[in-house]
Amino acid sequence: MEYAVLDIETTGGKYNEEGITEIAIYRFDGDKVVDQFASLVNPEIPIQPFVVKLTGISKAMLRTAPKFHEVAKRIIEITDGAILVAHNAHFDNRILTTEFDRLGYNFDKQTLCTVELAKQLMPDMPSYSLGKLVQSLGIPITNRHRASGDALATVELFKLLLLKDAKKEIVQQYIKVNPRTNIDSKLLELIKTAPTDIGVYYMHREDGTIIYIGKSKNIQKRLTQHFTNDTRKSKNIQREVTAVSYEKTGNELIALLKESEDIKQLSPKYNRTLRKRNFNAQLTSFTDQKGYINLKIEKVDARKKAITTYNSLQSAKNHLENSIGKYALCKKLGGLQNTDNACFNYEIKECLGACIGKEKPETYNKKVTAFLSNYSYQNQHMLIIDKGRNPQERSVIFIEKGIYKGFGYYALNHQITNPEILKSIIRPMQNNRDAQHILQSYLRRRKVIKIINLEPK
């Protein structure tokens, strides 16, 4: 699925009598620009003075520029099979359609308007003019009111809108209008055009509806497995699928979070098993009568506030066993040994005697607190930084006072701790127990670039 993101500068003047003075088109595959075209255009009619002042495009600059009929073929080529995307798309599409009508060519394209999408997906922005909107979102823009600069800014804006489109309405609507046919003969083509990157993929049937959502470290390899598997479920998917869209995530953590939330929100037909909770054990704590913090592993109970969750009771015990040794904690107070006397670790000099009152509660509790804060984000205010979708980018996950708020991407030169920039790039996500489990499990492995601790508001 590809898009032609464009911007047009015109002469101004009466409705449907305007001429094009400059056009820029960037072919965008949902991840990167794959082709581009930009040119001044000789409109063969005068330019309004206010337009010259606004754009800096003068009559002298256009004297030797190609006329529209000389660039028309290139415009048709770069927009072939793509959906037109523009800021105020109705205007740009009208201008293009009018010019092609004068040539006797029917230029008929589906359009997406980033003004309308921004109002729908980001309803609280102070302004939706391109300049003010991208400034609010921290998107750089150069050569304002020139086609190339405005079109590039629109590409970055559209990329952010695709990220914020949690219900995948943009992609689903596009596929509904542009269905594929004879899919059985095109499964190999779907595989061929898929990326080898990590991310989340969405399988669509002919009307655009998503029937399956998955995540993979290599999307192309995973699709190959789907389309060559002979299980009943796989055969049903092969029969119904007509298109596959995807979102690169840059790292496994965001892929896991997106897959979980999207399945819950969209309830795809073939994701029934993944809608259920995927963890069975939890770690809780309580303070005993002597003032010591005790730990306890138990089966998941939604009525109790869990410090962290685990896939199974055994994985919980294994992790707690390792942590007790690492932090010199007590097996008895850690819930791993039931005894009225000193725990086994005290006998081998790995416990300092909290189990028999030898180690003071305040000293022992500091170690327990250090363990809990290292393996759980409970009550923490922080940013989890990891790889982005390209080398110039990083991903950020925002935890606010222990609540998972969402994720986003930022350029390496951004001051990510700036509250306004952070707010503008974060895609809100649900703070449910599955998301908490995914984050906590991942943080236990610490496979992220860094964690930035923030001062709570």
Comparing CA positions, the residue from 313, 315, 291 lying closest to residue 301 is 313
Averaged over 409-421, what is the pLDDT? 83
Render pLDDT for 422-455 as a digit per residue (tens, 0 to 9): 888 999 999 888 898 889 888 877 678 998 988 7
Averaged over 375-403, what is the pLDDT? 88
Q: What is the model's pTM? A: 0.65
Share of the chain above pLDDT 90, in %: 58
pLDDT at 275 over 70: no
Going by pLDDT thresholds of 50, 70 and 90, the confidence category of residue 328 is: very high
pLDDT at 93 over 80: yes
Render pLDDT for 195-246 as a digit per residue (tens, 0 to 9): 999 999 999 999 999 999 999 999 998 998 888 877 788 889 998 999 999 9
pLDDT at 273: 62
Q: By mean pLDDT, which of 63-67, 118-122, 278-282, 361-365 is the weakest?
A: 278-282
pLDDT at 181: 42
| CB contact burial 318-340 (16+ within 10 A = b; e otherwise) | ebbeebbeebebbbbbbbbbeee
